[in-house]
Structure 1
Amino acid sequence: MEAKVRSFNNLSRPETLPSRPGGLTNHWVFGVCHVDLVSPADRVLAVNPQSGFVIQAGPAQIFSLPTTIERAKATIPSLLDAFVNLSESTLAELPIPSFAPRTWSTLDPDMAQAIEHALKSHDVKPALCKVGVCTDEERNILEAARESCISRWAQEVGDIEPERDAVGLGDWTRCHGCRKSRECFFRPLHKCGECEAAWYHSGECQRKHLEHHKPMCVAPYDASTLDAQAYYSMKAPLNPLAVALMTALRLGKSPYGSGTTLALHRLIRTGQDTPANMQALFGPNFWCEESLKKQHEIVRLEYLLDPPPGSPWHVLHRFVDDPSIVRSPRPATETEQKKVDEAREMQALIRERLGPRIHPTPEDKQAILETFGPDRPAKEAIYALASSTMNQGWQTPN
């Protein structure tokens, strides 16, 4: 990296583009795009808005990094390469010697600031560390350059675009027409004005997809009429708080297809199952749904009992838990603690009945519950909770 920076610092910084008539300003707009061909990777593209002259560098892995600072650091090597090796990185047949930009800008203020810091940390000349934010017109020019580059790359290597899964309504991370990730484009995806649940990278792509989308396209639903699952799929992706929760809970880029069960488990596991968060994900009437309310109550008790390895719920939790997410459920309420204590007492009765055995049979269940006489119906749920959260020798899948 030191040699790369040294080479970049030694480049000339002319006011205008060399070998170009008319004194075109030596200003560049750059960005990172995901090239979603057979061998997907990220590339850095830079364009001179006045001439349309394009340079590029890559491939690299940038978007897979979790923070803007890390993505900025990963962008720097390719960005410098594009200018240091200009004769190799050019996408136009022009014999222009390498030179540094006089000024440059990128798409996002946060990314611009992060790249400035990264350039300074590598001792790039101060004059070259200032990164601006491009205009909407410059963004459109960069997007046009990207489309041209994609076509050229595909033709040069004989590459074809891979088959992509259909995009579900509510998924704001991919274009619903071409099905490409939003990271493939320099312009933000725009949503369908009718249903507000489908996103497109261009008007042309939206028009091509209209025949397929039209049967599913309906005006935005009144949130008060949606059940929890419908709200989670249709409305939550439009709510910034819900989107932030989905990201933090690693629910995937879209909730489509994952259902409310996964989200509910992750909320409870992390102690974020507050009324505000539940409403953000499941809608304003989530507590009116008895099934969701009951599921929340049971899952809360399961996490408070902390099922050990070998218990049915320890095995089942493996399918919805993410080990990278810290387990920190909210403390039990007074009512919940009474039920937890009842479950612990029931577990003691089960162990006493089983002796050296660890797997209770239906006969064991009947014998234990009969000891409660008229209270048996009320103890059925406690028995189910107690037995499912104790070691029965169940094997955890790899």
Structure 2
Amino acid sequence: ASTRGLELPVAEPRTVYSAAPRRVVVPHTNIPDNIAGGALVLRQRIDRSGVVVTSIVDQILGPGLNIQNTNLDVLDSFPIVVTGWWLRLPSWDPTETADQLWERLSPALPALEVSGDKDPLIVEADPRVLTVVGLLVEDERDYGQPGPCWMFLLRVRTGTTRDGAPVYGTVLLAGLELNDSTSTRTPIAAGLADKKVAIVGVGAIGHHIAADLARTGVHRLDLVDCDWVDPNTRARSYGPVSHAGMSKTAALAEHLRGTALAGSVGSWDINVTRLFEHDDDSDTERNRRRVLRTLMDADLIIDATANPNATAILNAVALNRSPLLTVAGTPGLWGGWVALVRPGQTGCTECLAHHRADHATLRD
């Protein structure tokens, strides 16, 4: 094809070469022992070559059970929907092959017709391409502690014979459970499960703090910045070329939602030095008020702006409300300083600025 003399490649139709995912991700759940099985709804993602790479469990259904994956930002990247079954398997033999498991379990698989507590859900599986059976088996779940673990039995059509009869292959995969590993690996972080933290400035220092804090499982993480992703700064901050021109907070929030444990991640594009200035534009004014309320409701405000004016504004917001952690680095980030301001227990950031000025090293 050509446009104004430019030769453009013609895109070839994309073919899904493999219907079986290489891995299946399961949200952390505790299914009551009295529920023996039900239905699964999975979402799949394909790579550029058309191969299904990952599946993520969207819903787990059963009698009186309807567990929904709430991370919609992640699910948007998984456009293919597959339905199947799940069974609790008390007699689990690790030496049993995938084909043997299929021969033993497939005759007892019921029709996939499940009703949720509120909205009826009719699921019709198409076994001609891919059949999925999730298995709950007893195995090591957390550091030597036994518990129910997910396995996935996949029955995949791999081709046809010369006579046109379908040929199937069977695969058994261990499920990758999105468990709250912080509760066992870093027990001290358990206290953050109900906390709200706001980070203002997600550049060279702020984006590292956001990434580390999100992995602790903090309940709510809000990112505030007014800058945009510049790929030329990716050596010191989060700025992939694919996100060039996107707001820093939106790009980082998208990354954290898919990789971290935070309950939710919010992004706000605003210059905090104008946080107390009324704006005649209704949308901008509404956004300003929301950010102000978000900061006032935070259990901790982290100032990574390296901007004295922004620090003064955040000091006024946090005053008598919540702790304010201020961080700044030297040019090149060879060093820096950190200060924690506690309402009613320490001085404010203005006191700190005077203290630093009084004790600064004087040079001739």
TM-score, length of structure 1 as denominator length: 0.25
Higher helix share: 1
TM-score, length of structure 2 as denominator length: 0.27
